[in-house]
Amino acid sequence: MPICLPQVARRAQARALLIACALLQIAAADETRYAAERKALGAEIQRAAAQTAYATGRARFSARVMKAMDAVPRHRFVPTGSVANAYENRPLAIGHGQTISQPYIVALMTELLEPKSGDVMLEVGTGSGYQAAVLSRLVTRVQTIEIIAPLADSATARLRELGYDNVQVKSGDGYYGWPDHAPYDGIIVTAAANSIPPPLIAQLKPGGRMVIPVGAPFHTQDLILLRKDPDGKVTTTSVLPVAFVPLTGSR
Amino acid sequence: MARRDSALLALSIGLLAGAALAYQVLLFRLLAIIQWHSFAAMIISLALLGHGAAGTALALTGKRLLPRFHAVYATSAALFAIAVPACWALAQRLPFNGLELVWNPGQLGWLAGIFLLLSLPFFFAACCFGLAFMYARERIPALYAADLLGAGLGAALATGLLFLLPAGDALRVAAIAGALAAILLPAPRLARLALPALAVLSTLVMPDAWLTPRITEFKGLPRTLQVMGAAIEAEYSSPYGLLTIVRNDTIPFRHAPGRSLAATTEPPPQLAVFTDGDAMTALTDYDGRRESLAYLDEMTSALPYHLIDRPRVLVLGAGGGAEVLQAIYHEAREVHAVELNPTMLELLRARLLKSWVQLHAGDARGFVRTDRAQYDLVQLAPLDSYGGSGAGVQTMAESYLYTVEAIADYYARLAPGGFLALTRWEKQPPREGLKLFATAVSALDAPGANARDRFALIRGWQTSTLLVKRGTLTDADLDRLRAFCEARGFDPAWFPGITPDDVNRHHRVPRAWLHEGAVALLGAEAGRFIADYKFNVAPATDDRPYFFHFFRWPLLPELISLRGQGALTLLDTGYLVLIGTLAIAVPLSLLLILAPLAALGPRQRGERRLRSGVYFLCLGLAFLFVEIACMQRYGLFVGHPLFAPVVVLAGFLVFAGAGSFVASRVRNRPRALKWAIAGIVLMLLVQAIALPPSPGIVESTAGRVLLTLGLIAPLAFLMGLPFPLGLSSLADAAPAAVPWAWGINGCASVLSALLAALLAVHLGFNAVLMMAAGLYGLAVMAWNLEMTP
C-alpha cells in the first residue's frame, strides 16, 4: 500500500500539537503552582507585617500593596538557577554582586512609600527590576536608574517583555536623580550608598517620602524613611523591619 | 639506617613541614582576600583535619606501606606539591557565599567542598610525617625536631615571601619546596623524579588567573568594579593585605560615610582604596582650598573641633586620610597620623606632599603605648567597612583598639582639657555605640573621677561619636555641642544634664535605646543593664578583645522565631561560624581517632590505649592553647600585629624543635618527662600571672621582639619534649599505634585552635593559658599511670 503522505503529515501535526499542548499544560501547571506559591508568600508577609506593626505603625499591609505583590511574577526576576526559590521569603543573588530583596522587605518598603495611583516615583538601583514592577502596579509612572550597565540592560528587556510599560529604566549615575521627571511623590534608594545624595532630597515633592534600606548584601537591617512635609522640612526615621526589642522585659 | 639517609630524611621532613606551614600561612592570606576573616579561620581549621585523616589512613594501611617507605613518601610529597596550587585553584571556583548562610544553609555544602579540597595538601604532608615516624621510630625525636624547625622557618619565610610575591604566586614556591622534599630520598625513579618533575611543571605552567584570588562578588571591591567607569588603577600586595586602588571618572565615589542628611556639598574627586577587597577608604584630591573639604564638617566625628580651637591632633588609623583632612579643614595646630600599612601610608604621604602633617608607620595601639607626647584631640575612626560590620563577619577578630585598656591608653595621651573622639558605625538596635560607651565608662571608672561629666555621645543615621574629655564638660562645651547637632540633624544620646527632650528629635528611632543605655551604664544599675540587654555590650578587655562580639545565646531562639522578617541578619555570623566549625570538627575528629582503634582489633584497645590517647590529645590541645594565647599577649607587647604573631609562632616552633632534638638524648631517662612537664606548668603560671611586661620597658620594636623571643624560649623548649618522648615510648611498646597517636595530635590541634577562640571569647586568654597548664597536668597523670606496671 502506498504511503498516504497527507496522512503522515497529519499524524505528525497531531503529534506536534499534542506535544505543544503538553508543554503548554506543563507551563500552565507551572504558572498555577507559582500563583499558589505567591499566595502563600503573601500570607506569610501579612503575618510578618502584623508582628512588626508596633514599629511600622501598620497592623497589616494595605490591600493595594499586597495585590501588587501578588500580580508580579517574582520567578521571572530571578536567575534561572533560583527559580525554584523565587517565592521563598528571602533575598537571592542576581549576579554582579547584587541581590533581589526579601519579598517582605519589598512589601514593607512599598508600603512605607504610600504609593497613590497618580504618583510618579523614582528608584535608584533598579537591580532585577522587581521593586519597580511592584511599584508600577500602584502608581502612574516609575523612573528607575541603574549604575551597573548589564543589569540596566537586562532589567529593561525583562520589564518590556513582561509588559511593564509605565517603567522607564536608565543606566547611569543615580546621584543627581532624574531631573527631567522631578519632582517625585516617592523615591526609593535601593543602591544603599554611604551618604544620601542631596539632589535626591531636592527632587522629592513636599509631602513626599523616601525609603533607603541600610545594610550589607543579604543583610538589610534597617530602613530609613525620609519625609518632606508640605513646608519642605525634612525628617528621618529608622524603621526596624524586625519586631525585636533589645531590652528584656520591655516593649 | 645509614647516617646520611637519616640526615636526608630529617632534611626532607623539615622542608616539607616548612612548605606545609607556608601553605597554611598563604592560605589564610588568600582566604581572607576572597572571603572574610571568620570564614578564612574556619576553613583552615577544618582543612587541618587532613592531618588527622592522615593518621587514620596510616593506622589502617601503614603496615602495608612501610616496606615501600621511600616510594610512598616521595609520592606523597609530590602529591602535596601538585595539590597545593591545584586544590586552591579549584576551591576558589566553588560559589560559596558566606553572607547567604543565614538564608540558605545549603551554602554549607559549598563550604564543605572548599575545606575538603584544601585539606588534601595537609593530608599528603601528614602522611609523609606519620610514615617517617613509623619507619625510623628510633629517631622520632630528631625527626619531630626537624618537623618543628621546618614549620617555624616556613611560617617566617612565607610571611617574608608575601613582601615579594602576591599570595597566589607564593603558593608556587611552597609547592616547589614540597617537590624538593620528594627528591631527597632514595626512592624508585618514578616516585623520586618523574612525579616531582610533574609537580614542578604543573605548578609553573599553571596560569596566573587560576591562582589569583577571585574575590567573592559581594565584597566591596568587586561591587565597585561593576559600576560603569570603574577601573583598577594600581594594586599592591604585601602581608599587610592586598591594597587595590580604583578610579572612576564617570561616576565619582563621593565617599563620606555617615554624613549629615542636611549636607549640601559634594566631596572633591576621590580614589577608592580597598584592603583585601573590602573596607573601602577614600584618597581625596585635596587641592589646597580649605573650602573643598567642608563635607568633612558634616560628620559626627567633626564634633570635637567645635569644642576646642586649633588642637594638636593625633589620628589613629589614618587610612585614606579623611580624618587628617578633617583636621586640616578645622585648622588644627599640629596633625600626627598613625597608619599600620606602610603602602597606605606612602599613598597618603604622596597626596599630602607639601603638608606639615606628621605620618607615623605603625600600629595605633602600639604607638600610644610608647609615645610620650600629649594631644588636644585623639581621633579614632572606624577602619572596617559598614557592610562587613553589618553582617557580623568580623565578630571573631581580635581588636585591641576598643578595649578598656586601650581607651585608658588613649586617655593618657590627652592634654588637660583635651578630647578623645571615637566614632563607630551606628546600627538599630544599637550595639557598637553602646559597647564602646560601656568600655569607656569602665576605662575611666577610677574613684573620684566623676566620669559622667566627661562623656558626650551623639549619633547620626549611620555613625555615632563618643567624646571623652580630660576634664569636665563645661556649659560652653554643651552649648556648642547642641548647636553642632542642631545644624546637622544629629541627636545627642548623652551629655551631662541631658533631658529626655534633648534626644531622638532629628533622626528618630523606634525608641531612644542608645540614650537609655548610656544613662543606665553611668548609673548604679550598669551591671544589670548589661545583663538585661539582649546583645553583648559588656566592655571588651585586652584579655577578651572581642569588641565586635555581640551575640548572646538567648538571642538565637527569639531571632529564629522572627526569621520571616529577616531577623537572622541581626546575628553575628562570626561566632556562629565558630560554633558550626566546632560542631563539624568534633564528630569528625572523634571518627578519625576512633575508627583506627576499631580496625586495630580488640587486642589493641583497653585502658593503656585509652591512656596514651588522652596523653596525646592533651598535648595537642595544650600546645596550641599556649601558642595562640602567647601570640595574642605578645602581639600586644610587641605592638605590631603583623610581625608579632609570626615571631611568636616561628619562635615557638623553632625552640620547641630544639627541645625535641634534646629529647633524643634524654629519652632513656624515665623522669625526664615528669620534670619537663613540671617545668612547663610552672612557666605557664608565670606567663599567666607576670608576663608579658609593660611595653614601655623597651623603646624599640626590635628590642621588644628580642625580649619576646627570650621570654618564650624556655617555655617553648620544654614544650618540645613531651610529644617526641611519648611517641618514641609508644613506638617501642606498640609500633602500630604510632600513626594513631600522630593522628590524634593532628585532630587535637584543630580542636585546640577552635576551642581556644571560644574560651578566649568567654573567659579570656589568661584562662586559656591556665587551661593549658591543666591539660599538661592531665597528660602527665595519664602517662604516669600507664608506665606503672
**Across the strands, what pairs with B420?**
B378, B468
CB contact under 8 A, B263 and A198: yes
Are the C-beta atoms of residues B33 and B215 closer than 8 Å to each other? yes
CA dihedral A121, A125, A127, A133 (to 10 degrees): 0
Residue B203 burial by CB count (10 A; 0-12/13-18/19+): exposed, middle or buried? Answer: buried
CB contact under 8 A, B569 and A220: yes
Taking contacts as CB-CB distances below 8 angstroms, the residues of chain B near A194 are 255-259, 386, 462
- Rounded alpha-carbon distances, angstroms, from residue B166 to B26, B163, B169, B246, B325: 10, 8, 5, 18, 32
Distance, in Å, from the CA atom of A85 to the CA atom of B530, rounded to the nearest integer, reads: 40
CB contact under 8 A, B250 and A224: no
CB contact under 8 A, A218 and B565: no
- Which of B35, B266, B427, B428 is best to mutate for the A interface (most A CBs within 10 A)? B428
How many CA atoms within 13 Å lie on the side-chain side of B331?
Answer: 7
Amino acid at B247: R
Give pLDDT < 50 ranges for chain B: 787-789
Distance, in Å, from the CA atom of B487 to the CA atom of B483, rounded to the nearest integer, reads: 6
Residue in chain A lying closest to B295 (CA): A195
Closest CA to A173 of A194, A131, A145: A145
Cell of B617: 590529645
Taking contacts as CB-CB distances below 8 angstroms, the residues of chain A near B567 are 242, 244
How many CA atoms within 13 Å lie on the side-chain side of B554?
Answer: 10
CB contact under 8 A, A194 and B226: no
Residue A27 burial by CB count (10 A; 0-12/13-18/19+): exposed, middle or buried? Answer: exposed
User: From the CA of A55, how many Å to the nearest CA of chain B?
Assistant: 6
**Across the strands, what pairs with A224?**
A212, A238
Residue in chain A lying closest to B97 (CA): A93
User: Which pLDDT does position A108 carry in this prediction?
Assistant: 92
Residue B492 burial by CB count (10 A; 0-12/13-18/19+): exposed, middle or buried? Answer: buried
Residue in chain A lying closest to B281 (CA): A194
Helix, strand, coil in percent for chain B, rounding step 5: 65, 10, 25
User: Which pLDDT does position B12 carry in this prediction?
Assistant: 93
Q: At what angle do helices B49-65 and B37-47 cross, to 10 degrees?
A: 20
Residue A47 forms contact with B (CB below 8 Å)? yes
Give per-residue pLDDT as tens, A89-108.
999 999 998 999 999 999 99
Coil vs helix vs strand at A174: coil
* Nearest-by-Cβ selection for B569 from A172, A215, A234: A215
* Nearest-by-Cβ selection for A238 from B223, B254, B510: B510
Residue A125 forms contact with B (CB below 8 Å)? no
Residue A79 forms contact with B (CB below 8 Å)? no
Q: Strands B241-248 and A184-189: what pairing?
A: unpaired
Give per-residue pLDDT as tens, B333-349.
999 999 988 999 999 98
Give per-residue pLDDT as tens, A141-176.
999 999 999 999 999 999 999 999 999 999 999 899
User: From the CA of B5, how many Å to the nearest CA of chain A?
Assistant: 55
CB contact under 8 A, A244 and B570: yes
Residue in chain A lying closest to B98 (CA): A218
pLDDT at A112 over 80: yes
Taking contacts as CB-CB distances below 8 angstroms, the residues of chain A near B564 are 44, 47-48, 89, 104
- Which of A89, A106, A219 is best to mutate for the B interface (most B CBs within 10 A)? A219
- Which of A244, A245, A248, A251 is best to mutate for the B interface (most B CBs within 10 A)? A244
User: Which pLDDT does position B244 carry in this prediction?
Assistant: 94
Residue A185, phi then psi, degrees to nearest 5: -75, -25
Rounded to an integer, what is the distance from CA B390 to the centroid of its chain? 19
A136 is catalytic: no
User: Which pLDDT does position A7 carry in this prediction?
Assistant: 64
- Rounded alpha-carbon distances, angstroms, from residue B288 to B91, B206, B403, B602: 48, 48, 37, 82
Residues 211 to 250 of A: which have CB under 8 A from any B CB? 214-222, 224, 226, 234-249
**What 3 state SS string does B349-381 have?**
HHHCCCCCCEEEECCHHHHHHHCCCCEEEEEEC
Cell of B115: 575545606
* Nearest-by-Cβ selection for B261 from A44, A196, A249: A196
B493 C-beta neighbours (distance < 10 Å), count = 30
Cell of A194: 554611604
Closest CA to B263 of A200, A103, A189, A77: A200
Any idea what DSSP says for residue B533? B
Distance, in Å, from the CA atom of B445 to the CA atom of B441, rounded to the nearest integer, reads: 6
Distance, in Å, from the CA atom of B430 to the CA atom of B517, rounded to the nearest integer, reads: 9
Give me the residue label for grid cell 600629649. B374
ipTM of this complex > 0.90? no
Taking contacts as CB-CB distances below 8 angstroms, the residues of chain A near B386 are 194, 216
Residue A196 forms contact with B (CB below 8 Å)? yes
User: Which pLDDT does position A55 carry in this prediction?
Assistant: 67
User: From the CA of A158, how many Å to the nearest CA of chain B?
Assistant: 20
Instruction: Mention every residue, 6+ apart, whose C-beta is less than 8 A from residue B33.
Output: B167, B213, B215, B241, B242, B276, B277
CB contact under 8 A, A240 and B429: yes
* Nearest-by-Cβ selection for B564 from A89, A194, A198: A89
Q: At what angle do helices B765-787 and B672-690 cross, to 10 degrees?
A: 170
Are the C-beta atoms of residues B277 and B219 closer than 8 Å to each other? yes
Closest CA to B49 of B144, B117, B134: B117
**Across the strands, what pairs with B424?**
B464
* Nearest-by-Cβ selection for A221 from B427, B516, B562: B427
H or E stretch at A26: helix A5-51
Render B717-755 in DSSP notation, one character per residue: HHHTSHHHHHHHHHHHH-GGGHHHHHHHHHHHHHHHHHH
- Which of A218, A220, A239, A240 is best to mutate for the B interface (most B CBs within 10 A)? A218
Taking contacts as CB-CB distances below 8 angstroms, the residues of chain A near B262 are 234
Distance, in Å, from the CA atom of B53 to the CA atom of B62, rounded to the nearest integer, reads: 13
CB contact under 8 A, B566 and A102: yes
Rounded to an integer, what is the distance from CA B213 to the centroid of its chain? 19
- Characterize B422-437 residue by residue with b for buried, 16 or more Cβ atoms within 10 angstroms of its Cβ, and e for exposed: bbbbbbbbbbbbbbbb
Render B270-327 in DSSP notation, one character per residue: EEEEEETTEEEEEEE---S-GGGGGGGGGSGGGGGGGTSSS-EEEEES-TTSHHHHHH
Residues 144 to 183 of A: which have CB under 8 A from any B CB? 147-149, 171-173, 175
H or E stretch at B13: helix B3-34
User: Which pLDDT does position B632 carry in this prediction?
Assistant: 87
B499 C-beta neighbours (distance < 10 Å), count = 6
User: Which pLDDT does position A2 carry in this prediction?
Assistant: 46
* Nearest-by-Cβ selection for A221 from B250, B511, B569: B569
Q: How many residues would you count in chain A?
A: 251
CB contact under 8 A, A194 and B256: yes
User: From the CA of B305, how many Å to the nearest CA of chain A?
Assistant: 22
User: Which pLDDT does position A251 carry in this prediction?
Assistant: 39
Angle at alpha carbon of residue B784, lines to B783 and B785, rounded to 5°:
95
Cell of B742: 600522630
Distance, in Å, from the CA atom of B564 to the CA atom of A102, rounded to the nearest integer, reads: 9
The residue annotated as part of the active site, out of A101, A128, A136, A154, is A101
Residue in chain B lying closest to A93 (CA): B100
User: Which pLDDT does position B60 carry in this prediction?
Assistant: 82
Distance, in Å, from the CA atom of A183 to the CA atom of A167, rounded to the nearest integer, reads: 16
- Which of B102, B270, B565, B572 is best to mutate for the A interface (most A CBs within 10 A)? B565
Residue in chain A lying closest to B572 (CA): A219
